[in-house]
């Protein structure tokens, strides 16, 4: 079960940058093993923080314009947007506790 939504170069502005509150964008790729490791954690957090945090997934292979715009060079990269502004990021596969702490910090 997940509340995560897919975003693309075409809808990134409306789906993320024009949204109130906290949106966490997962920059990932199908071939990326660490991305697959954190995917279930993000799915769990998207359910636990439903109504407080939106989780979006952006495939870096299909959406290079947005990937380059935010200078994403390593994946997985989680970018935290609060009221449309980039406020934080987490690079690499990290434990659930670390991600949960970031969600709690910015969802408040």
32 is catalytic: yes
Which one from 22, 35, 78, 99 is the annotated catalytic residue?
35
| Per-domain boundaries in the chain | 5-86
Rounded to the nearest 10°, the torsion over CA 56, 57, 60, 62 is: -100
Q: How far apart are the first and last CA of the chain?
A: 24
Amino acid 31: pLDDT: 97
- For 18, other C-beta atoms within 10 Å of its C-beta total 10
User: Given this model, what pLDDT does residue 1 score?
Assistant: 62
Digitized pLDDT (tens) for each residue of the chain, 108 residues in all: 678 899 999 999 999 999 999 999 999 999 999 999 999 999 999 999 999 999 999 999 999 999 999 999 999 999 999 999 999 999 999 999 999 999 999 987
105 is catalytic: no
Candidates 15, 16, 24, 32; catalytic one:
32
User: What is the pTM assigned to this prediction?
Assistant: 0.96
- Asked if the 5-86 domain carries CATH number 3.40.30.10, the reply is yes
Q: Which two tokens stand for residue 54?
A: 């939106």
CA-CA distance, 32 to 57, in Å (whole number)?
14
Q: Helix, strand or coil for residue 82? A: strand
């Amino acid at each position: 079960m997940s509340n995560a939504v897919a975003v693309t170069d075409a809808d990134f502005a409306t789906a993320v940058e024009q949204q109130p509150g906290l949106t966490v964008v997962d920059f990932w790729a199908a071939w990326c093993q660490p991305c697959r490791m954190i995917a279930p954690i993000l799915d769990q957090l998207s359910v636990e923080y439903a109504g407080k945090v939106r989780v979006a997934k952006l495939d870096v292979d299909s959406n290079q314009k947005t990937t380059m715009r935010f200078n994403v060079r390593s994946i997985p990269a989680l970018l935290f947007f609060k009221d449309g502004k980039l406020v934080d990021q987490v690079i690499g596969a990290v434990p659930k506790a670390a991600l949960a702490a970031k969600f709690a910090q910015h969802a408040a």
